[in-house]
Amino acid sequence: MTNQKITIVTDSSAYIPEAAQEGLNISVIPLWLIWDDEHFRDGVDIDPQTFYDRLKKSSTLPTSSQPSAKEFEIFFHQVAKECDAIAGVLVSSKISGTVACAQTAL
């Protein structure tokens, strides 16, 4: 048996708290949150508290979008520098295009 370093890749829809990620090799690619004319990377440009504060005051609801294939390509290359293998656990392809974009990036 080898001592390979494996990183789990997931998207921000998994909502794994930072405390739960401690000591684990988990890398999270953010989904896009579109609110009116603004675009936010989930968990990067907007945090949960800010999201819920805005939701209470907003007359519109946000939508989301998957990262592009190019964003996945860049993300995978960055993650690969730190590990020997990557295992992807992403939102279901039945409800999102995230898996398709990730596969295109490979």
Q: What is the pLDDT of residues 33-51, one digit of tens each?
A: 999 999 999 999 999 999 9
The answer to whether residues 75 and 103 belong to one domain is yes
Q: Are strands 38-41 and 32-35 parallel, antiparallel or unpaired?
A: antiparallel
The answer to whether residues 73 and 59 belong to one domain is no
Residue type, 26: I
CATH of the domain at 88: 3.40.50.10170
Q: Between the CA of residue 4 and those of 35, 74, 87, 97, what are the distances in Å?
A: 41, 22, 12, 30
| Paired residues of 105 in beta bridges | none
pTM: 0.87
Number of domains in the chain: 2
The answer to whether residues 76 and 101 belong to one domain is yes
Segments in 26-90 forming alpha helices (H): 48-57, 69-80
Q: Is the pLDDT of residue 72 over 80?
A: yes
SS3 label, residue 54: helix
Domain span including residue 23 = 1-31+66-106
The answer to whether residues 27 and 72 belong to one domain is yes
